[in-house]
Structure 1
Amino acid sequence: MIEVELIRASYRPDRITTLFVGESAPASGDFFYLGNNAMLRHMQRATETALGPADGEFLDRFKAYGWFLDDLVLTPVDKLPPSKRKTTCLAAMDGLKDRIAAYRPLAIVSMLVGIKNIVETAAKAAESNAPRYAVPFPGMGQQTRFQNAMLEIIPSLPRNGIKKGAG
């Protein structure tokens, strides 16, 4: 997991405008910032549908916007039994709170409805007034719901060089 966190750090913008919070990197190694994975493809499709295509690599554009994907839990939880998974997520709340306080994002998006309450609690504990959103994870038949939810919020998500709510 050290490699995952080093790769994630290489994509961290100087100023995080929008913080996306996933549950954890998957045990399979199909990590968002490694490219060529379903989460990246769905995020790219939603972003390009909402904002139009752009030249260059999507992850570079994502970073240039000030967008950053962090995870609630910094070790994979997707293969854990449900009760252990929930306990692990709850135990990670303080770490997320500290990162939100350090990042000071202008908006926060939970990338899984099931972690919304934990992310909300962490943001409040970090004294963040950033607007918070939650979208379904784009897996297990939820791809269309994810796309629709992202299309609704992307235009209003803060981006570097773009005022909130501007195209």
Structure 2
Amino acid sequence: MMDVETTRASYRPDRIATLFVGESAPASGDFFYFGNNAMLRHMQRATEAVLGQSAGDFLDRFKEYGWFLDDLVLTPVDNLAASERRARCLAAKESLSERIAAYRPLAIVSMLVSIRSIVETAAKAAGSNATLFGVPFPGMGQQACFHNEMLKIIPRLPRSAA
């Protein structure tokens, strides 16, 4: 299997306009940037509903928009007990803060309700004045809610001038 962080880095735009922050890459290997997974399909569906469809690969377009998906925790936590999962998320706040300071995004979207406060605290610690958004993760029956929230925020998300 390809390395998550190497693959993620290959999709990092030169200038990150909007930073999406997930909890972690899943233990299953269904990583967003590997393609052909539910998260990618939900993101593509919502984005194309607002911005329209275009030819080519969605992940390439995502990068061209200046959009980038990073994770709070850089190792899978979805297979851990709730207390350990929460502890790892809290412990990753400083690392995320450092990455936000380096990325300097104009907007940050937390992709899971339970990590939103950690992401917002990391952004503040980074000295970021990015506009902050949060959406529920599109799983566990939250797919429609994710889609509806994304329809509201996509028009407000900064994109590169590409």
- The two structures have a TM-score, normalised by structure 1, of 0.95
Aligned counterpart, 1:24:
24
Give the secondary structure class of the aligned counterpart of 2:3.
helix
> 1:3-152 to 2 correspondence within 5 Å?
3-152=3-152
Unaligned runs of 5+ in 2: none
CA offset at residue 161 of structure 1? 1.0
Letter in 2 for 1:30: D
CA offsets 1:90-120 (integer angstroms, 9 cap, x no match): 0000000000000000000000011000000
Letter in 1 for 2:77: V
Give the secondary structure class of the aligned counterpart of 1:68.
strand
CA offset at residue 34 of structure 1? 0.3
Give runs of ≥4 in structure 1 deviating > 3 Å: none
Identical columns (%): 74
Structure-1 separation of matches of 2:140 and 2:156: 27
CA offset at residue 80 of structure 1? 0.3
Structure-1 separation of matches of 2:2 and 2:87: 22
CA RMSD of aligned residues (A): 1.2
Unaligned runs of 5+ in 1: 163-167
Give the aligned length: 162
- The two structures have a TM-score, normalised by structure 2, of 0.98
Letter in 2 for 1:72: L
CA offset at residue 2 of structure 1? 8.0
CA offsets 1:8-61 (integer angstroms, 9 cap, x no match): 000000000000000000000000000000000000000000111011000000
